[in-house]
Structures are given as structure tokens and as C-alpha cells.
Amino acid sequence: MAVLKFRVSWEEDDAIYRDVLVKHTQNFQDLHIIILKAFEFDQKHDATFYRSNDTWQRGREISKEVYDRAYKVAPLLMEETIIGSEIIDTNQHFIYEYDFVKSWSFLIQLIQVVKNANADMTLEYPLVSRIEGVGPMQYGTKGLLGEKFADIEEKYDLNEAAEGFGEEGEEDAHASDDGGDDGGDDGGDDGDNTEDSDEEDADDNKQDNESGSGFFEGEAF
């Protein structure tokens, strides 16, 4: 028995990769699961492997299931295909595609074969041995925060807060207009009233500022 080390790189940026270790007797279903775990993806979508070569051409599929689409050659199934049976080159290549709608693609290359005598058989395989780069987020920022983000939205109801802010500004404007009318009526009678009106306007402006601060808007191989 041997342990195979594969480097799995994100197709859009090969500086982002994960090294995974699998036993050569394990199947492609095991490899499929450890890749998703390595990139923190869920297991809710369809997936397939392709045999490949040094120029990353897609060959015969090793698929999660037989999908309703045209195949040049019937695919092998992940659960039935042992990884070691597909290794015909010392730097064997595969392509892995996950979620056919979003088409997440990863390039897989065999980078090391660890013979049984040198392998740590106390470890539970498959496993992730190295992580380089910040991987892509499967569902974007909201997916990263998960259910907690929904809880925040529900608790604070951000849309309602924005509407309330607009109403408060209108009320302040009305209050300022009313104050100006009163001052105009009384201004001819008593000079002290003009000073009181100025002080009220200053207080209104101060309250407006305080209320607004802190609010942010191939044929197969």
C-alpha cells in the first residue's frame, strides 16, 4: 500500500492550493470529500473528475453519478473507482469540477508517492496536509457568515431602521419650521424672544447631529 499526495489548485489562481493525502486503495468518492473539506465547501452539489494530461485536456469522467447529458464514453463512478487504478504517470493529472451551475474547477496533480514503509499509518486518511492562500468563498460574504448574518438582519431589521431615519429627519424639519413661525409672530413684541428662538434652533441642530451620528448605510483519455 502507498499514500498518494495530490496538490489541488484553484483553476483561477494556482497560488491557492491544498495538498491532500489519500491511500491508493481509497476511491474517488474519498478524494471528492476531502477536496470539499479542504476548501470549506459543502457537499450539496453535483461533481465529477476528469482524467487529464500535462496540458490539462479533459478526458474520461469519473463522476459522482451518471448525469442526464451526452457522454463520448460512459463515465466511471467515484464510489466504484479506486484511485490507484487511475495512476498511470508519476505526475498524474486530474481535473475536478464541482457544482455544474457555478463550475468550480480545480486542477489536481500527483506530487508524491509515499511507500508504506515511510507512511504514517496512525493517521486517518484522507487528510489535508497543507493549505496555501485564501480559498474562494462558495456563497460569497453572506455564505461565509452563515446563519449568524440572517440573525443580525432579523434582530436589527436594517431596512426598517433606514426608513425610520428618514421619518425622523422629516419630523425635525417640521419642528424647525414651526419654531420659525412662532419666532416671527412674537419678534415684534419682545427682543428676548428672538434670543430664545436662536437658542432653540441651536439645540435643534445639536439634536439633529447627535441623532444622525453613527448611522451607516474530447475523446476520453
Tens of pLDDT, residues 157-179: 444 444 444 444 455 555 455 55
Of 186 and 124, the one with more pLDDT = 124
What architecture does CATH give domain 2-135? Roll (3.10)
Q: How far lies 46's CA from each of 67, 100, 124, 196, in Å?
A: 9, 7, 26, 73
- Give this prediction's pTM: 0.64
Beta-carbon contacts of residue 95 (< 8 Å; ≥ 6 apart): 49, 50, 52, 56, 58, 105, 106, 107, 108
Q: How far lies 125's CA from each of 83, 129, 135, 192, in Å?
A: 13, 10, 22, 86
Question: For the chain, which residues make up each domain, given as ranges?
Answer: 2-135, 157-212
Do residues 51 and 220 make contact, with C-beta atoms less than 8 angstroms apart? yes
The predicted pLDDT at position 126 comes to: 97
Query: 186-199 pLDDT, tens per residue?
Result: 544 555 555 555 55
Do residues 72 and 64 make contact, with C-beta atoms less than 8 angstroms apart? no
Residue with cell 439633529: 208
Residue 139, pLDDT > 80, answer: yes
Q: How confident is the model at residue 18 (pLDDT cuts 50, 70, 90)?
A: very high
Q: Is 167 helix (H, G, I), strand (E, B) or coil?
A: helix
Beta-carbon contacts of residue 98 (< 8 Å; ≥ 6 apart): 35, 36, 41, 45, 46, 47, 104, 105, 106
